[in-house]
Amino acid sequence: MHTISQNNTHFTNQITNQNQVSYDKKSKNYGKKNSFAFTDLGIKHLKPSNKRTDYWHSGLKGFGIRVAPSGRKTWFYLYSQNRIQRRMSLGYYPKVSLAQAVAVYHKFKERVLLGFDPLEERNQHKKAVFGTPTILELIQSYIEYGRKTNKASVEEERKSLERYIIPKLGKKKIIDVEPKELSKVFHHIVVNREAPVTAQRLYSYTRRLFNYAADMGLMRRRDNPCLDIKLNIKKNKRDRHLSPTEIYKFWHRLDKILMADITRLALKFMLVTLARGCEVRHMRWSDIDFSERIWTLPKTKNGHTHRIYLGDIALQILDKVKKHPKDSEYVFGSAGSYHSSKKSQKILKPMSGRTLCQPLNRHSSDFDIKKRFTPHDLRRTGATIIAGLFGRRDLVKMCLNHVSSDVTSIYDQYTYDIEKKKAMNALNIAVQSIINSKDVKSVPNFSDLRKLISDQNANNIISPTEKENNSLGFQANLKVPVSYTLSYGHI
3-state secondary structure of 122: helix
Cα dihedral across residues 178, 180, 183, 185: positive or negative: negative
- Greater pLDDT, 17 or 431: 431
pLDDT of the residue at 153: 83
Instruction: Give me the domains of the chain, ranges plus CATH numbers.
Output: 2-130 (3.30.160.390), 135-228 (1.10.150), 244-469 (1.10.443)
What mean pLDDT is predicted for residues 429-452?
89
Query: Mean pLDDT for the chain?
Result: 79
| 130, pLDDT greater than 50 | yes
pLDDT of the residue at 27: 33
pLDDT of the residue at 351: 81
pLDDT of the residue at 128: 63
Using CA atoms, how far residue 377 sits from 310, 357, 360, in Å, is: 20, 11, 11
pLDDT of the residue at 160: 93
pTM confidence score? 0.58
Q: What does the pLDDT look like over 44-101, one tens digit per residue? A: 889 898 999 999 998 888 999 999 999 999 999 999 888 888 888 888 898 889 999 9
Q: Which one-letter amino acid corresponds to residue 139? A: I
85: which strand partners?
80
Q: What does the pLDDT look like over 395-420, one tens digit per residue? A: 888 888 887 766 666 666 677 788 88
pLDDT of the residue at 313: 94
- Greater pLDDT, 491 or 324: 324
Other beta carbons within 10 angstroms of residue 276's beta carbon come to: 19
Contact 83, 24 (CB under 8 A): no
Q: Quote the radius of gyration of the chain (alpha carbons, Å).
A: 36
pLDDT of the residue at 469: 45
